[in-house]
Structure 1
């Protein structure tokens, strides 16, 4: 485990232009290092852990059956350009619902990254967006590897608490369910759009797994992710992030 000390900070200190000091995921920050950052009036953000790339095991050449059509069982010596990997050497058309779903998840991750770049100097919001991003990466990894999502959580909260917060807004945030309005400002409307787009990804997942026995918990996870974005939306409007910085 990497350790960030006060001495190390002092040795290479340069005040960040945006007032936020980014720390690599998995790094232990000593109490004195945290005190040093506070003295400098700089916020600390732990960047989301980068997932290892899901590289494929190289496909062994097996003549005319190096690649197999997952639908028909037909073998191919070379991969046709209009087909792609479902898993291993099994191929499907690029229009296959599972491939379309992967594209949707890829796009929504890109949008979350843009939001993180835009709000990287707002530690509370940045951290919650990072949690959303990691949740989306977990969903994609589950689909590609066909592994069950276990113990899904966001913001350090389990899925039941996320569901409760998104439905009991008055009890949680002290306000009624907010109806999106242009007067809310750009940040709130970006979050509302993100919530709606994750709903679309959830529908793509339902279509992708419609005829399959197991969705690996993906549809439920996406439902909780859209609820999670709604929680972030409510946190913003209720002043939660402003209070964090006081």
Structure 2
């Protein structure tokens, strides 16, 4: 058979059935020799050399591979791997080591861990809201690094660990009031963590008001407040309750 080469031989015709179907699937033409002879007289199989399967010479290498190893498996190119979820999972550390059944739960758990703090932070009151919400009890005062006492509240009792030296209030309209002064000649501006207190008019300021004028670094931690400028430092907390003095 010119141009053809024997690929393999089988003792019986049915032995070639699987290989024939694999060659058909691969599009490789073939011819079977002595199949009818062996089928009619099986004892002739050894005499004629069995049922022989021939393929074209140019198809022989591929046909031989199929005969030895089975058909080649080609990759599925119907989808783009870079756009599939599997490829995305494989790029995430730790998650790429988990089985597929656990990957989605691990991803959702990680998403919750990331989103919850962001949402909670977004719900926190702003620095301005905290500053203007309550009256502040000034408990400690330092002027040029030295502790001083104002005693504006005359030692009024409060629900604090320390008595208030002064009661300071930052109003939403930008006004600053302190109980040491009957006049309210101060206003404030808040920019980030920088608080500026300045006169609100040309009227003369009282002594304690003039001390407050300046630019401060504002620190708010829970119910505590700390104001620090170049010359003055105030520290206190939110004023919880003022109990009037008892008269006997």
The bucket for the TM-score relative to the shorter chain is under 0.3
Q: Give the structure with the larger strand fraction.
A: 2
Q: TM-score, with normalisation over the residues of structure 2? A: 0.17
Q: Which has the larger radius of gyration?
A: 2
Q: Give the structure with the larger helix fraction.
A: 1
Greater RCO (Cα-Cα under 8 Å, separation 6 or more): 1
Q: TM-score, with normalisation over the residues of structure 1? A: 0.17
